[in-house]
Amino acid sequence: MDKMPNWADVVLVPLISLFLAFALSGLVILAIGENPLEALQMMVTGALGSTYGWGYTLYYATNFMFTGLAVAVAFHARLFNIGGEGQATLGGLGVALVCLSFEWPHWTLALIAAMAGGALFGAAWAAIPAWLQAKRGSHIVITTIMFNFIAAAVLNYMLVNVLRPDGAMDPATARFPEGTNLPTLHDMLAVFGIPFSKAAPVNISFLIALLACFLVWLLIWRTRLGYEIRAFGHSESAARYAGISGVRITMIAMLISGGLAGLMAINNVMGEAERLVLNSVEGAGFIGIAVALMGRSHPFGVALAAILFGFLYQGGAELALFTSIPRELIVVIQALVILFTGALDNMVRMPIERIFLALNRRKEG
Amino acid sequence: MSAPAIELKGISKSFGPVQANKDISLSVARGAIHGIIGENGAGKSTLMSILYGFYKADAGEIFIGGQKTEIPDSQAAIAAGIGMVFQHFKLVENFTVLENVVLGAEDGWKLGPSLRKARQELTALAKEYELNVDPDAVIEEIGVGMQQRVEILKALYRKADILILDEPTGVLTPTEADQLFRILRRLRDEGKTIILITHKLREIMDATDTVSVMRRGKMTATVKTAETNPEQLAELMVGRKVLLQVEKTPAKPGDVVLSASNLRVVDDAGVERLRGVSLDIRAGEILGIAGVAGNGQSELLEVLGGMQAAEGSLTLNGTDLELVGPQANGRARRARGIGHVPEDRQREGLIMDFHAWENNAFGYHDDPAFNTGLLMNNRALRKDTEKKIAEYDIRPANAWLTAKNFSGGNQQKIVVAREIERSPDLLLIGQPTRGVDIGAIEFIHKQIVALRDAGKAVLLVSVELDEILGLADRIAVMFDGRIMGERDAGATDERELGLLMAGVTDEGDN
């Protein structure tokens, strides 16, 4: 064996990274004169101590799963899609247009149509940077970032000038019709007689996000297209040898990626707000990058990382509400988690690897 | 008797769990050409890197001229009189010869005096060793052979007494190689010590006085060159008897399988890489393309394999193949029955991070045998891989290993198995044995000949002239994007091919 076992790679390393991030966060909290243990307890009870807390944690996690998957799919084709934010924004527009266009008889029909609308708008928004990358060589990191700003401006324009109901002061669409309201986890669990907080926004989109994780796994590891995406991502020159078109893979991977980001809107726009407001995405597109990094671009890893970040979001909100720890500190904690699990991955991995190698050698010797 | 120029005692070095050098002792006499031969991965380069200060040995001692010497970095190696000529030259392309020689050995902050001194010294060295190079020539404008001389001059300018050359003939024509060996002999006669690292048995026999053989990180033998022969050296390298000569019967050429006419390729920089190449390949024959690397062979392979657009025309079994457009790609070529073992298996033939079984489908992942409906049939794919692993004796016999964890020879076997087992009408095969150990070379050669005997056409591109001569039935020589001439393999020799490779025109032919 010249490498460490797989479980250490996918479980131990992220856990240690996480621990380090939390330890450092604790020091920061200590430095501003608060008790880190109390803060941790507050976060855990706030996010996981009640069905209400869970409801919010999973609601956030749903957003992050979609955007995390979006980044992960593109990443398999070695495309760094930083445009999840903009694609999800446009996805929201698509969902809103679908929901408002028609007096929907039942939420199931509305959901299917809204998914199509959100995915289509998100994919279309990713298609332009993808085309520029594939055909013109414009770097996708630059173009997707710029498209985030354009998306925000487009949404602003649409809400202020087109979608705002007459007489309303608020740059937001009208409330979606009754027939588009999605069942919440409370509604669904009630069928089985399991009590769950009524106030929490987690809804059926959570299950769709889990399904999306599974389908992305199937796509990447079990289909020809996934094979080609991975092959292209690992080696462009080899893809050329095999006759895999780089233009085609770049386009398809980005369309899927944008579509997944756009799908997020069924959760935050259709499921929670039930209308489209400014800045509806609230940075979930960027959290998706961290989620994909921490989940190592594997859908199951993405699902777990999304739940972790959902916990950080909800626990952080509780912290800001009930202690004198400022809200900005939550951002610091999130940033540390991203820093340690994403950017500083090798800092933890290398020493662990060395330890395992040394153990192996002793066993052999 | 004076102390040996270099003496290594008990050198060991490991990288992680891999032991690259195990307790190596070596003594190189002053004023000799000492060859070090061994397969890829035998530890030659590691040993020389230790000697040149790139790596620090885990254990062992180095004596230079009888004195124990620590070599922590290359500066120390240079100070100890060791010079190294790397396989890939370390020259600044847009500097002149003189500037390259001085680079890193300037005397003060003013360049002028250093350059003047170097010019004098260079003239003296040129006279002493017959190493004539124009000091004001720009590197990118002189030939590869000349560039190598600049590398040697760089070492001599730094007062090297011991010169290490790592695979120096890889990029040279046979004539240039002969010139190099003449220079090396001259250097030896003037008292320099030379270490020649190579995997080519012929060079060892031609150029060296003594030879050390390495196998799997160990020094297996040191013998006087005059007292050994290629067969014995090969056996020492591999650890068993090997056939150096490919056994094959005369070819029975059939119908023309592939016919190319007037192929032209212009690269992105506007340089014409193929300047009207025409050739026919028949069923049941191996057409070898000889030439120094970079004379259009790679582009030819890429055009035929669908990786590169071109002008001209191309037919396979009488029907046209597209040279531009959507059908000019590897997938379409495979569907038409063209197999392709690319020149660079690590960049093209394999995805290094894919499992062996995933690589076994590469390029053929559309094959119905590997798919069930929308999904890939990974189980069938693994089964097929395990069969090939057994048939081709790929080691380790583990379909789950990623490609990068196989040795060069076994990586190549994965590619060759994938392409040959499809029984293509035409097999394109580039540098089939580059970086491949002797045992695997023998095996791969046999497979190529077996494919030919099954009535298939083979186009073999190789920069190893021995390989072309041993394997091909007909030989075409490329120079500067053109085919300089074609010869029957039985009716030509190295000298004739060497002239064609150097671009000497083919007058006797028509």
Confirm whether B383 is domain-assigned: no
CA distance A250 to chain B (A): 16
Rounded to 5 degrees, what angle do the CA atoms B153, B159, B164 make? 65
CA distance B349 to chain A (A): 6
Tokens describing residue B403: 């490609």
Backbone angles phi, psi at B194, to 5 degrees: -125, 130
Query: Does one domain contain both B140 and B287?
Result: no
Does the beta-carbon distance from A241 to B375 stay under 8 Å?
no
Does the beta-carbon distance from B376 to A223 stay under 8 Å?
yes
Distance in angstroms between the alpha carbons of the first and the last residue of chain B: 60
What is the DSSP code string of B344-378?
A: -IIIII--TTSBHHHHTTTT-TT-GGGEETTEE-H
Higher pLDDT residue, A320 or A221?
Answer: A221
**Nearest C-alpha neighbor of B486 from the set B336, B352, B285, B327:** B285
Does the beta-carbon distance from B349 to A241 stay under 8 Å?
yes
pLDDT over 50 (residue A1): no
CA distance A334 to chain B (A): 32
Does the beta-carbon distance from B17 to A230 stay under 8 Å?
no
Does the beta-carbon distance from A243 to B334 stay under 8 Å?
yes
Does the beta-carbon distance from A243 to B333 stay under 8 Å?
yes
ipTM for the predicted complex comes to 0.86
Does the beta-carbon distance from A223 to B342 stay under 8 Å?
no
pLDDT value at residue B405: 85
Residues in A touching B18 (Cβ below 8 Å): 2
Backbone angles phi, psi at B120, to 5 degrees: -60, -50
CA distance A206 to chain B (A): 26
Does the beta-carbon distance from A238 to B347 stay under 8 Å?
yes
Query: Does one domain contain both B207 and B267?
Result: no
Query: Does one domain contain both B147 and B10?
Result: yes
Residues in A touching B362 (Cβ below 8 Å): 231, 238, 242
- Say how far apart CA B28 and CA B313 lie, in whole Å: 56
Task: Choose from B15, B18, B359, B375 for mutation: most chain A CBs within 10 A.
Answer: B375
- Say how far apart CA A274 and CA A267 lie, in whole Å: 9
Does the beta-carbon distance from A2 to B405 stay under 8 Å?
yes
- Say how far apart CA B469 and CA A43 lie, in whole Å: 75
Q: State which H helix or E strand residue A265 sits in.
A: helix A265-265
Confirm whether B89 is domain-assigned: yes
pLDDT value at residue B409: 84
pLDDT over 50 (residue A61): yes
Query: Does one domain contain both B186 and B280?
Result: no
Confirm whether B390 is domain-assigned: no
A294-305 confidence digits (pLDDT tens) = 888 999 999 999
What is the domain partition of chain A in residue ranges?
59-302
- Give the C-alpha distances (Å, rounded to integers) separating A205 from A51, B100, B138, B334, B365: 17, 65, 66, 44, 34
Chains A, B: CB contacts within 8 A come to 73
Residues in B touching A361 (Cβ below 8 Å): 17
A154-167 confidence digits (pLDDT tens) = 999 999 999 999 88
Confirm whether B361 is domain-assigned: no
pLDDT in tens, chain B (510 residues): 578 899 999 999 887 667 889 999 999 999 999 999 987 778 888 899 899 998 888 899 999 988 999 999 988 999 999 999 988 888 998 999 999 998 888 877 888 888 998 999 998 988 888 888 889 999 988 888 889 999 999 999 998 999 999 888 877 878 888 889 999 999 999 899 999 998 888 889 989 999 999 988 899 999 999 999 988 888 888 887 777 778 889 999 999 999 999 999 998 888 899 999 999 999 999 999 999 888 999 999 999 999 999 999 999 999 999 999 889 999 999 999 999 999 999 999 999 999 999 999 999 999 999 999 889 999 999 999 999 999 999 988 999 999 988 888 899 999 999 999 999 999 999 999 887 877 788 899 999 999 999 999 999 999 888 899 999 999 999 999 999 999 999 899 888 998 898 888 655 444
Q: Angle formed by the axes of helices B144-157 and B174-189, to 10°?
A: 20
Q: What is the 3-state secondary structure (H, E, C) of A204-245?
A: CHHHHHHHHHHHHHHHHHHEHHHHHHHHHHHCHHHHHHHCCC
Q: Could you list the residue range(s) of the whole structural domain that residue B296 is in?
A: 256-350+424-501
Q: State which H helix or E strand residue B62 sits in.
A: strand B59-64
Residues in A touching B376 (Cβ below 8 Å): 222-224, 227
CA distance A162 to chain B (A): 42
Query: Does one domain contain both B124 and B185?
Result: yes
Q: Which amino acid is at B72?
A: P
A324-343 confidence digits (pLDDT tens) = 888 788 888 888 888 887 77
Query: Does one domain contain both B57 and B107?
Result: yes
- The last residue of a domain, from among B205, B238, B271: B238
Does the beta-carbon distance from A242 to B362 stay under 8 Å?
yes
Query: Does one domain contain both B27 and B168?
Result: yes
Does the beta-carbon distance from B330 to A235 stay under 8 Å?
no
Residues in A touching B378 (Cβ below 8 Å): 222
Cis peptide before B396 (omega within 30 of 0): yes
Interface of A with B (CB under 8 A): 1-2, 218, 222-224, 227-228, 230-231, 234-235, 237-238, 240-245, 357, 360-361
Mean pLDDT (chain A, rounded)? 92
Confirm whether B366 is domain-assigned: no
Q: How many domains are contained in chain B?
A: 2
pLDDT value at residue A158: 96
Interface of B with A (CB under 8 A): 16-18, 305-307, 329-334, 340, 342, 344, 347-354, 358, 361-363, 365-366, 371, 374-376, 378, 405
- Say how far apart CA A58 and CA A86 lie, in whole Å: 22
The answer to whether the CB of B185 falls within 8 A of the CB of B33 is yes
**Nearest C-alpha neighbor of A101 from the set A90, A91, A113, A84:** A113
Confirm whether B413 is domain-assigned: no
pLDDT value at residue B17: 67
Query: Does one domain contain both B276 and B315?
Result: yes
Tokens describing residue A75: 């990443």
| Region A246-271 average pLDDT | 97
**Nearest C-alpha neighbor of B294 from the set B146, B506, B87, B481:** B481
Does the beta-carbon distance from A238 to B348 stay under 8 Å?
yes
- The last residue of a domain, from among B208, B238, B268: B238
Query: Does one domain contain both B324 and B457?
Result: yes
Does the beta-carbon distance from A227 to B361 stay under 8 Å?
yes
pLDDT value at residue A326: 82
Higher pLDDT residue, B237 or A276?
Answer: A276
| Region A189-203 average pLDDT | 93
**Nearest C-alpha neighbor of B184 from the set B406, B35, B336:** B35
Confirm whether B398 is domain-assigned: no
- Say how far apart CA B236 and CA B215 lie, in whole Å: 8
SS3 of residue B463 by DSSP: coil
A59-302 classified as CATH 3.40.1000: no
CATH of the domain at B343: 3.40.50.300
In chain A, the residue whose alpha carbon lies closest to the alpha carbon of B344 is: A238
Does the beta-carbon distance from A235 to B351 stay under 8 Å?
yes
SS3 of residue A193 by DSSP: coil
CA distance B325 to chain A (A): 12
Tokens describing residue A158: 């649409």
- Say how far apart CA B364 and CA B375 lie, in whole Å: 14
Query: Does one domain contain both B317 and B202?
Result: no
Query: Does one domain contain both B17 and B89?
Result: yes
Phi-psi sector, B33: left (phi>0), alpha (psi -120 to 50), beta: beta
Query: Does one domain contain both B131 and B272?
Result: no
Confirm whether B389 is domain-assigned: no
In chain A, the residue whose alpha carbon lies closest to the alpha carbon of B365 is: A224
Does the beta-carbon distance from A235 to B18 stay under 8 Å?
no
Does the beta-carbon distance from A237 to B347 stay under 8 Å?
yes
